[in-house]
A and B are shown apart, each in its own frame.
Chain A
Amino acid sequence: MHLSPDEIIYWQQGFFKLNATIVMTWGVMFLLVVGSMLITWNLSRELKRSRWQNLLEIIVTGILKQIEEVGLDQPKKYIYFLGTLFLFVAVASLCTVIPGYEPPTGSLSTTTALALCVFVAVPFFGIEVQGIANYLKAYAQPHFFMLPFNIISELSRTLALAVRLFGNMMSGSMIVAILLTITPFVFPIVMTALGLLTGMVQAYIFSILAAVYIAAATRVRKPPPAVAEKKQIPSIGNKRSSHG
């Protein structure tokens, strides 16, 4: 029994190792890239279209809608990043139905890499939207006293993102491996089906949390009260969810 797919090594030459995590990641990437290239080869704008195009359109519009609901105004700008995160994590856990496959997200290296992408993307989008001065000012926001706590929360939520995804994926395959040794074959199948559900939920949560963090970083500050009072706009659109 192994803790992560890092420990399955296919090929090794000196410092370079080709372990199962890398190979499975390449597999998932290949599946995603070649699959979407094949589907988007000849798109139709008519009413008659292939079922694969329908599938992709459902996925893309669904992701766009979810991103917009979180509070990001231009979802098309963020779908490249957030949609890729969601699709990678979702496909990585959906592929567990293939025998011999180990989810690459069950390795702490993969999830740390994904979480580091979020860690870099949040200030990137924040600075792009608000400018560097306004973005840095947000760290000392309620009071200057809160500066260290804001920085700690930035680091700890990255750690939490990585460990949450890793723990869920690893626990799924670990429970199946433990059950295989002590129970009849039916129970591991049930746990694998449960693992598919958990994988989808985790993919959703990972990308929604990234979207929430980006929405919190790109939130443009309210105008000063003197201007706001003059116009007297009732604030309906204030449905932004709080950031974790």
Chain B
Amino acid sequence: MDSMTAIAVVSIIIAGITTSFGTMGPALAEGRAVAKALTALAQQPDASATITRTLFVGLAMIESTAIYCFVISMILIFANPFWNHIIAPAAGK
């Protein structure tokens, strides 16, 4: 296995692992947040505007961690910085 194949294999595997583990935590966290918000809504329907707005902002905060992982896996697949490291010397030959 030459270094190019190794980089490809490692990048793809790590991209999959990054997205899967990176979505696991936010999924659990968002589930908890929505469950708590629904409880709060059931107890205090008058405060629904505040609860919903805070919930949305909080969900965005939680979700951004998953988005970071997704962006990193996209970079690994489509714009891998290590490719250039290998390809540039190979093209120069």
Verify if B39 is at the interface (C-beta below 8 Å from A).
no
Which residues of A188-217 are within 8 A (CB) of B?
201-202, 204-205, 208-209, 212
User: How many residues on A have C-beta within 8 angstroms of the other chain's C-beta atoms?
Assistant: 24
Is A205 within 8 A of B57, CB to CB?
A: yes
Verify if A35 is at the interface (C-beta below 8 Å from B).
no
Alpha-carbon separation in the docked complex, A202 to B61 (Å): 11
Q: For A243, give the chain B residue with the smallest CB separation.
A: B57
Contact of A164 among B53, B54, B60, B79 (CB under 8 A): B60
Is A163 within 8 A of B53, CB to CB?
A: no
Against A, the Cβ 8 Å flags (1 = close, 0 = not) of B5-33 are 00000000000000000000000000000
Is A164 within 8 A of B57, CB to CB?
A: no
Q: A3-B78, A69-B49, A239-B50 are in contact. Are A244 and B57 (CB under 8 A)?
A: yes
Verify if A170 is at the interface (C-beta below 8 Å from B).
yes
Q: A69-B49, A163-B64 are in contact. Are A241 and B57 (CB under 8 A)?
A: yes
Chain B residues, Cβ within 8 Å of A160: 64
Is A244 within 8 A of B74, CB to CB?
A: no
Say what secondary structure dominates the interface of chain B: helix
Verify if A119 is at the interface (C-beta below 8 Å from B).
no
Chain B residues, Cβ within 8 Å of A168: 67
Is A3 within 8 A of B79, CB to CB?
A: yes
Q: A3-B79, A69-B49, A239-B50 are in contact. Are A208 and B71 (CB under 8 A)?
A: no
Contact of A171 among B56, B57, B64, B67 (CB under 8 A): B67
Is A167 within 8 A of B68, CB to CB?
A: yes
Which residues of B60-93 are within 8 A (CB) of A?
60-61, 63-64, 67-68, 70-71, 74, 78-79
Is B67 within 8 A of A241, CB to CB?
A: no
Verify if A174 is at the interface (C-beta below 8 Å from B).
yes
Alpha-carbon separation in the docked complex, A143 to B46 (Å): 37
Chain B residues, Cβ within 8 Å of A204: 56
Chain A residues, Cβ within 8 Å of B64: 160, 163-164, 167
Chain B residues, Cβ within 8 Å of A208: 53, 56-57
Is A209 within 8 A of B53, CB to CB?
A: no
Is A209 within 8 A of B67, CB to CB?
A: no
Chain A residues, Cβ within 8 Å of B70: 167, 171
Alpha-carbon separation in the docked complex, A166 to B70 (Å): 11
Is B53 within 8 A of A201, CB to CB?
A: no
Q: For A66, give the chain B residue with the smallest CB separation.
A: B53
Contact of B67 among A163, A174, A244 (CB under 8 A): A163
A-B contacts, 5 of them at CB < 8 A, read A1-B78, A3-B79, A163-B64, A167-B71, A201-B60
Additional A-B contact list (16), CB under 8 Å, known A69-B49, A160-B64, A201-B56:
A69-B50, A163-B71, A164-B63, A164-B67, A166-B71, A167-B67, A168-B67, A170-B74, A171-B67, A171-B70, A201-B60, A204-B56, A208-B57, A212-B57, A239-B50, A241-B54
